[in-house]
Amino acid sequence: MSLEKLSSQLSGHLSGSKKKLPPVDEWHPDFCGDINLQIKANGNWFYNGTLFKRLSLVKLFASVLKKDDDKYFLVTPVEKIGIQVDDVPFVLTNWHWQDNNQQIMIVSTNLDDEFILDAKHPLTLTENGDLYVTVRRNLLAKVHRNVYYQWVDIAKEVQTNNGTELMVYSANEKFSLGVI
């Protein structure tokens, strides 16, 4: 399938509200094969080795991105197409306090997904020290290094069973940035 055909098909299925995401978890079409679409670890999207330049097109495809097991797919009600993702599909690039209230942290991705860092969208620290946030469904965003360093500046040192950990707080939850 060509990228143009997929884009046209998606546009037809996704008319309406810009904020509402399509119900890809309810769609279970047959697998149609792979497309030469790759999401690099830095969040850039490529088709046949060429960088996507239109953010609106990337957002359109990201809205129908689905992860099954360890594989990523673009899905419509009638097609399921495999793509390659080097690490995770999103990068967490920004954050701020909600209404200057230092109790609720709003985070956003490179594709302008914005949400509260909370139990539904937790921060996860891997064994190798990488930080990820759940964006939606089982799709993750890697925390950009700049955001990490900003969080280190505001983190609190907390004694835990693991030692002294740096913690950030949001929405009555605490999240570890790692042991110091």
What pTM does this model have? Answer: 0.86
> Confidence band (pLDDT; 50, 70, 90) for 102?
confident
Provide the pLDDT for residue 14: 45
Q: Which amino acid is at 59?
A: K
pLDDT per position as a tens digit, 115-151:
999 999 999 999 999 999 999 989 999 999 999 999 9
> What residues does 142 pair with on adjacent strands?
91, 132
Task: Give CA separation, 70 vs 66, 80, 82, 138, in Å.
Answer: 10, 15, 11, 10
Domain boundaries along the sequence of the chain: 3-85, 90-179
> Confidence band (pLDDT; 50, 70, 90) for 99?
confident
Averaged pLDDT, 78-97? 97
Mean pLDDT in the chain? 90
Sequence-distant (≥ 6) Cβ neighbours of residue 137 within 8 angstroms: 24, 25, 66, 67
> Confidence band (pLDDT; 50, 70, 90) for 4?
low
Closest CA to 61 of 69, 73, 71, 53: 73
Residue with tokens 């907390």: 158
The helix or strand, by DSSP H or E, that contains position 168, with its residue range, turns out to be strand 163-170
pLDDT per position as a tens digit, 26-45:
999 999 999 999 999 999 99
What is the CATH code for 90-179? 2.30.270.10
pLDDT above 60 (res 7): no
Sequence-distant (≥ 6) Cβ neighbours of residue 114 within 8 angstroms: 106, 107, 108
pLDDT above 50 (res 176): yes
Rounded-to-integer distance, Cα 46 and Cα 28, Å = 25
pLDDT above 70 (res 13): no
Q: Given this chain, do its domains 3-85 and 90-179 carry the same CATH topology? A: no
- CATH number (1.10.8.100, 3.40.640.10, 3.10.540.10, 3.40.50.920) of 3-85 reads 3.10.540.10
| pLDDT over 70 percentage in the chain | 89
